[in-house]
Amino acid sequence: MPNSRTVSQPAITQAVVTARSSTLRTTAGLSEFEVSRLAAELDAIRAEVMGDLGAADADYIRRVIAVQRGLEFGGRALLMVSLFPPAWLAGTGALAVAKILENMEIGHNVLHGQWDWMGDPEIHSTTWEWDAVSPAAGWKRSHNVVHHTYTNILGKDRDLGYSAIRVDPAQPWKPIHLFQPLYNLGLSLGFEYGIAIYDLELDKVAAGDKPWSQARAEIGGLWQKIRRQWIKDYVAFPLLSGPAAPTTLVANVVANVARNVWGHTVIFCGHFPAGAQTFTEDQLVDESPGGWYIRQVLGSANLDGPPLLHLMTGNLSHQIEHHLFPDMPSNRYAEIAPKVREVCARYGLPYTSGSLPRQYAGVLLTIARLALPGGGRRVAGGENAGWM
């Protein structure tokens, strides 16, 4: 089973990814020398940008933060008179956009340490807390450490289907997966809670790999954060809007859910569409920096679209660039994307990319197909062909 995914790379005809065995797969058929040269080329792309960071970049993140805070303030102010339908609509929209910006372009990227180079304790991975129920500390561990180090490795990268959804035929099928289209919808609506519970790593506690005392402390921290978030969105602001309390409450629920659905969509499009590959643990043995880079490229997928899409996805639309250089400021991904793409093409590495609707449709198809046992064979027919 583990080897059955290696061959199919439709749509990417130049791919020489016809690797033969699992131990060779992260090298994508490249020689050791080619892998180290690839690593040097990617290192050079990184070094060029990191050496060039300056005031313009600092201005960028401060501007995004100012816009986000302006939108949040404006949205909440409009909702004070949310009995007036246009105010409700505009306020809810502004608040939803503010929350999305806060979680994606600001929170996610600040917590990655992309802006640590500025030396500003107010915009720093060690001090940032985001507008979501999951405390930043737990997320940084499960996301920055586990997911970004062990990207798309079955059994290691817990982000792979968030341990609940079968997104890869190599994951063993269980009867519960029959319902996965349904609970994927639930996960989408309540994504922030899904992430929060997932960060507790209860599966590890059950397996005895994580002490229960630690999990209990984390649950305490999570509950505190949830309470603060709930009091803000579901008590304090509705009460402040007086007679408009019910409509403000609904607006805040809608904004939070919209943010959840958006985040879920973007993140699922980053790793699980057709074209993005998964790996097995034996590939970690003696993995070189070049091998790690290759795994990041093969395990990620980009989204094509206008600059506004890139901003609203927190530049996770440049998932490949983000996975190669997780601590590079996100505003620089767009400029290096053509270079990374060119390097990938020269080394015959598939660079998966597609529009949001196409990629998301592919993800949903995969989830639907893999609800049933099997699915180890993909039907050819284009980039977004799901697992059929």
**Nearest residue (CB) to other proteins, 69 versus 181:** 69
Least separation in angstroms between residue 320's CB and other proteins is 15
Minimum CB distance to other proteins, residue 43 (Å): 8
Cβ distance to other proteins smaller for residue 41 or 383 = 41
Of residues 36 and 188, the one with the C-beta less far from other proteins: 36
Nearest residue (CB) to other proteins, 16 versus 145: 145
Shortest gap between Cβ of 110 and other proteins (angstroms)? 10
Shorter beta-carbon distance to other proteins: residue 183 or 193: 193
From the CB of 200, what's the least distance to other proteins, in Å? Answer: 17
| Residue that has been written with the tokens 């583990």 in this structure | 2
Q: What angle do CA 315, 317, 322 make, to 5 degrees?
A: 65
Least distance from other proteins to the Cβ atom of residue 256, Å: 14
Return the number of the residue (43 or 335) whose C-beta is nearest other proteins: 43
**CB of 51: closest distance to other proteins in angstroms?**
7
Closest distance to other proteins from the beta carbon of 293 (Å): 11
Contact residues for other proteins, defined by CB under 8 A: 43, 47, 50-51, 53-59, 66, 69-70, 73, 112-113, 116-122, 124-127, 129-131, 140-141, 144-145, 148-149, 225, 228-229, 231-232, 236-237, 240, 289, 292, 326-327
Our CB check for other proteins shows the closer of 140 and 339 to be 140
